[in-house]
Amino acid sequence: MEITVIGAGVAGLVTAVTLAERGAAVTLHERSGNLGDNAASWLAGGMLAPYCEAESADPGVVAPGLAAIDWWAERVPGVTRKGTLVVASGRDVGEVSRFARRSGGGLPLDGAGIAALEPNLAGRFHRGLHFAAEAHLDPRIALAALVHRLEGLGGKIRFGSALDPETAPGDTVIDCRGIASDAPGLRSVRGEMLILRTGDIRLSRPIRLLHPRMPVYIVPRGEGLFMIGATMIESSDAGGVRLRSAVELMNAAYALHPAFAEAEVVEMKAGRRPALADNLPKVTRRGRIVSVSGLYRHGFLLSPDCAAKAANIILGNTKREEIAA
């Protein structure tokens, strides 16, 4: 069976690899000339943090999210299983209890516990939570590894190839275009992120800084790089980072550790997350077109599950027309 996948963001790559692993002949088409250009997932945090996400997302994300950690660890380098550290400072410490209640867990930590996990944060925070089962990866390394894996499995990838699902070749077409698709009910939730570089601070795992107005996370990427994210704005604006957002993200980094004041700003980018009304992804079939859409802020967390569902629809003769992820 000839399968055409459109879109080489995380949804398209994971779906293409999943199908190729199951023996399908897959060609992946990407309108951009380079991996990651115009892809929301290129700007992702790369946190595999199902419990933390369940604080605000449907609890249904936990099981597929935990499975996703294994999925990634078996296929790409750099999956770090050191959990997530959640902290709050000063008068926001009450947020820690609320977060623990909502996320359904996390090991409560005091200042010494936090310092034991992240020595650079010693003395800075006195209450936190450790979600030991969570993990993180570098999205760019992971996506590049999937390209390599797809090619190793005999799949083809065509950059600079914009296809319309209706007229695309292949027995089955999988639409993974993300926000570029015009699927009904799909909207854009804008996100802005920074990458900073500093040799003055070391972190081993993603840190979520709870703040009632502006919760942010900092993900270590190695070699002194840190990704700071991310805003959540109901907007389809594709323009660059706004100063207000940049200031908020930078403030958060500085609040985590003043050493970030001297960090170099390596990158500042904005992207658009594709989201449906329930902020959960959906895998649907219409004729020979299967759509994987609405991964929202859960591209790395939920795309393995969505890809498995798409593969079941296509290869497993799944009869259901619509499978909510």
As measured in angstroms, the least distance from the Cβ of 242 to other proteins is 6
Least distance in angstroms from the C-beta of 321 to other proteins: 21
CA distances from 120 to 81, 260, 278, 286 (A): 19, 12, 38, 52
* Amino acid symbol at 153: L
Q: Of 101, 202, 286, 320, which one interacts with other proteins (CB under 8 A)? A: 101
Q: What is the DSSP string of 193-259?
A: EEEEE-SS---SS-EEE--SS--EEEEEEETTEEEEE---EE----S---HHHHHHHHHHHHHH-GG
Question: Quick check: 182 binds other proteins (CB under 8 A)?
Answer: no
Please count the residues of this chain forming the interface with other proteins, following the rule CB under 8 A: 21
Stretch that binds other proteins, among 26-34, 82-90, 146-154, 271-279 (CB under 8 A): 271-279
Helix (H) or strand (E) holding 155: none
Question: Amino acid letter at 302?
Answer: L
Token pair 């997302």 is found at 57
Closer of 203 and 301 to other proteins (Cβ):
301
Q: How far is the CB of 165 from other proteins (least distance, A)?
A: 21
- In the chain, the amino acid numbered 197 is R
Q: Pick the closer one to other proteins by CB: 130 or 190.
A: 190
Query: Per-residue contact track with other proteins, 193 to 222, x per CB under 8 A?
Result: -------------------xx---------
Which of 18, 38, 279, 291 is the binder for other proteins (CB under 8 A)?
A: 279
Told to check if 267 binds other proteins by CB under 8 A, we report no
